[in-house]
């Protein structure tokens, strides 16, 4: 396939051709048999939009307000681990693309570039995991404050890491391959090796460097996650984070209406309906299936964000119609970053803008607020 892409699926193919096999499998894969991973895409695409005609849709406005700021469209770049390895200093490139498009960028705790480095490139939100070392967590929160992060996304659906068969087979964690497998895979991708492995140094886990050291490799990261993510976390820990963070606090990883109500009571400012991109509990509901009941449980008391399976602007409109106020991209922007860096991410955001405008015009909606359950054809 050439370097041209007309859709997010095209970018997936380009990313597969450019990334070393183990990195692509880490990005593309889900847990166990990947049932939920497939459901995220299929259930969302199965939502039928209601076509309406002879309405004045000459002026479409995609802008929306969230956390006191107006964004160009109800879309943001969600956290994607290791994205700084998909292109040279990849998180910085993606953050710049998001800023240029007028949408937020979220940095993962498991990033290659540190909070401070990315904040120098563009404004950002920060995604936080709670680990056993609470002092380290406090330091991360303080770092997010110092960097002026616009929101803190506390991810709560990783009490234990889901098993991802693709990572084992590809040689990323608990390798089923010989020790030199990753090196051989890198040598098969000379463009990536030159751009990232050679010119992209230092290759560290930026936010985790105080714990992992500067010479950490991916195998160290996977082992560290398994040993250090805290399975004892409860809603009291959410209150503990709230006590240290006075900006918008978003609870990410909600699928159950009761958990959504608990997030309201815990003092969160928003939630993200998410199953971690199908990377945790395989067989869980897709985000699209879980979204309506969660949104109803919240009842307008806080914004509802969502991620999972979004591959087009039509999917964004579907999520809005199902009850979301804002949509986060994951693999969609990471594929583009891997394929074409900052330009690829910028292009994906332009594609979503154009596709949303078509979908809204043909459903007779002119503003984001007008997209609701009536936009869905339930026949």
Provide the annotated active-site residues.
Answer: 276
The C-alpha atoms of residue 114 and residue 204 are separated, in whole angstroms, by: 9
Does residue 78 have a cis bond before it (omega within 30 degrees)? Answer: no
| CB-based contact 214:202 (threshold 8 Å) | yes
Helix (H, G, I), strand (E, B) or coil at 71: strand
3-class DSSP state of 229: strand
Residues 6+ apart with CB under 8 A from 22: 167, 170, 171, 172, 181, 182, 185, 218
The neighbouring-strand residues paired with 326 are 305
Residues β-bridged to residue 61: 367
3-class SS of residue 131: strand
Cβ within 8 Å of residue 10, ≥6 positions away:
1, 4
227-250 residues labelled b (16+ CB within 10 A) or e (exposed): eebbeebebebbebbbeebebbbb
Q: What are the structure tokens assigned to 87, written together? A: 């292109």
The three-class DSSP label of residue 66 is: strand
Total count of residues recorded for the chain: 379
Residue (of 147, 186, 156, 158) closest to 170 by Cα position: 186
Report yes or no: 113 and 92 within 8 Å, Cβ to Cβ. yes
CB 348 within 8 A of CB 44: no
């Amino acid at each position: 396939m050439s370097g041209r892409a007309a859709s997010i699926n095209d970018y997936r193919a380009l990313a597969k051709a450019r990334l070393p096999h183990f990195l692509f499998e880490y990005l593309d894969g889900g847990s166990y048999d990947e049932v939920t991973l497939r459901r995220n895409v299929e259930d969302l695409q199965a939502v039928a939009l209601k076509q309406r005609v002879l309405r004045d849709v000459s002026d479409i406005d995609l802008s929306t307000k969230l956390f006191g700021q107006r964004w160009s469209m109800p879309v943001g770049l969600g956290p994607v681990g290791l994205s700084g390895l998909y292109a040279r200093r990849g998180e910085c490139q993606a953050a710049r693309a998001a800023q240029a498009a007028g949408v937020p960028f979220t940095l993962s705790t498991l990033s290659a570039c540190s909070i401070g480095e990315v904040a120098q490139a563009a404004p950002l939100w920060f995604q936080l995991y709670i680990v056993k070392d609470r002092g380290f967590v406090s330091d991360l929160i303080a770092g997010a404050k110092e960097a002026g992060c616009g929101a803190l996304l506390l991810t709560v659906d990783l009490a234990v890491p889901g098993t991802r068969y693709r990572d084992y087979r590809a040689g990323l964690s608990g390798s089923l391959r010989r020790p030199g497998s990753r090196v051989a895979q890198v040598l098969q991708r000379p463009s990536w090796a030159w751009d990232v492995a050679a010119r992209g140094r230092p290759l560290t886990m930026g936010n985790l460097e105080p714990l992992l050291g500067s010479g950490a490799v991916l195998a160290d990261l996977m082992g560290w996650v398994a040993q250090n993510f805290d399975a004892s976390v409860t809603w009291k820990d959410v209150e503990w984070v709230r006590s240290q963070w006075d900006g918008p606090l978003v609870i990410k990883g909600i699928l159950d209406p009761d958990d959504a109500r608990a997030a309201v009571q815990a003092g969160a400012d928003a939630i993200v309906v998410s199953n971690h991109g199908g990377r945790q509990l395989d067989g869980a509901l897709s985000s699209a299936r879980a979204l309506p009941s969660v949104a109803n449980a919240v009842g307008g008391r806080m914004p509802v964000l969502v991620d999972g399976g979004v591959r087009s602007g039509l999917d964004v409109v579907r999520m809005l119609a199902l009850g979301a106020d804002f949509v986060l991209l994951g693999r969609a922007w990471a594929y583009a970053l891997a394929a074409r860096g900052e330009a690829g991410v910028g292009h994906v955001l332009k594609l979503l803008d154009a596709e949303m405008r078509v979908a809204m015009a043909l459903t007779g909606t002119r503003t984001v607020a007008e997209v609701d359950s009536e936009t869905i054809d339930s026949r």
